[in-house]
Structure 1
Amino acid sequence: MSRTDPPSPAPSTYAIDGQITRARPVEPALYAVSTPIGNLGDVTLRALEVLAASDLVVCEDTRVTRTLLDRYAIRKPMAAYHDHNAARERPRLLAMLRGGKTLALVSDAGTPLVSDPGYKLVEEALAEGLKVIPIPGPSAILAALVAAGLPTDAFAFLGFLPPRSSARRTRLAAFAALPATLVLYEAPHRAAETLADMAAVLGPGRPGVLARELTKRFEEIRRGTLEALAAGALADPPRGEIVLLAGPPAETETGDDDLDALLRAALETQGPGQAAAEIAKATGRPRKEVYARARSLRATGDEPEASGGARDEPDNPDLPS
């Protein structure tokens, strides 16, 4: 081949245990391809076929994705796409899609767009009328749910909570009364303090789960009350990728102790009126009653001083219930 000749395209093949398979052609599109969250054996055949048939594999970290492609002998060019270069790379990737190329979008682990930077690329592709095709597969959210032993008929994914405790408690309070299992991701060094906040806001006796390193060699699933899990994470800090879960609230009216816990968390960053409105909506308790309790907690000093400049509000006896 002369120096002026273009390089030969990478073969559209993949291999399993040395058995080489030619991938069938796929429709030009942006494919959101789910990849293993740890165990490389969890990849689907359809995912391998799309990766092998694509013109470009778009990934967060090429080193991470290269490990998967090498495992299955897939030789395709890769492009890094992450928070720091997304604005620069998106126009080029969209131009390739407009030109009829096939792009496989993957995250470092699991399903793309779930707590990763692929959302804007998919959003803009759809806005231009370009086709986006999901290739389902592994997900840390679902893996943790099915092994947790908590109700799965309704669940809410909260992503990563804010790093500061006051903001974290405020966000948790907004979901405290939701009749669903709560699922969130957390960094291992914050697991203990996040579980402590979950216990304070959701209730210390609420059932919870800490799942770590799912599908990997050191997979571990800790079950217990949120209070016990917080103490355990403090005494024995977990390592690796963490998923935290909290079961739904008991099917009873929010008790006074639970109401006070919710209010204390909200009053760290809000005044009584705003906190009462939020908690009343979440619990179904009358707003006048919740507002009166918030004022009482503040008057007796039984709640921390609000941060971020939140100030006390004047009494408002005409608040709607």
Structure 2
Amino acid sequence: MTINPQIFKSYDVRGVYPADFNEEIAKKIVKAYIKLYKPQKVVLGRDVRESGESLHQVSLASFLEAGVDVIDIGIVSTDMFYFAVGQLPVDGGITISASHNPREWNGMNFCKKGAEPISSETGLFDIRDLVIKNDVNVESENKGSVEKKDISEDFLRRVASFIDLTLNPLLPQNRKEFLDLLRSEKADLGVSWDGDGDRCFFADETATFIEGYFITALLATEVLKKHPGAKIIIDPRLVWATQEAIINAGGTPVICKPGMTIIADRMKKERAVFGGEMSSHFYFKENYNRDNGMIPLFLILEMLSKYNTTLSQLVAPYTSKYFISGELNFETE
């Protein structure tokens, strides 16, 4: 079998199903992961793609055949997967997802113990090399066991713990229906997520989309009230509003190259409490330094209630002062 090495990206595996990524390749990748990290117990999850069911089944079978015990968490968002790997007594995990890529794609995202990310620089390309060489023999006389577990309630409790409770997408053409609904309902706030639920986007009461750049500045000021003087990781592509907000709130901005595993690693190194990208990935120390798509919503709701204000007023100090063009992408040959 010929395997396209280009499916191994900087942070995960992604390819068109079944041409570039399929059940046989998934099986080899799981075995390479086992051979490299020698886990005794792992978490296995997937997103909602149609191809996910069969990929999930062969991945599960590959773990069990190699004597690895599996906690099967079923269909979950990526941040739920991170939570499970960080919270449960496991040595790592794999979730089957191609993030925001089109529906015909699928792939895999990997973690080590404690939800520590696996990137091209920390092991993913080692997995690739084992797969391409077909050096994936991990047979075991003992079979692993499987435990099905619904982590949704535990996950929601963890998310809700980030605020005081008394009893809670990037392309403009994809926002029209969302913003139209916000206007027609005369809602006070609009919120949406991307395909795998790890990015959270906001619109204010005037149905104006608020860029992740400004949300990062807003969340940073609130996080710093609970963690005075802490370090905050920020995106180098846009820094003026975030730097101003963090410094004025008594924190220390740390500019970091964007990318999920890069920021997670930098947060751990710097002992930062929060990080944000203009792409609306928001990272929290208490969430194992990984991004989360629900915590930002609860923090924004808490701020609206606590300060009896609107989102437009909360971000006005930044939106009135700093211009943003939006992300500009170019194709090159």
Kindly name which structure, 1 or 2, has the bigger radius of gyration based on alpha carbons.
1
Question: What is the TM-score with the length of structure 2 in the denominator?
Answer: 0.26
Question: What is the TM-score with the length of structure 1 in the denominator?
Answer: 0.26
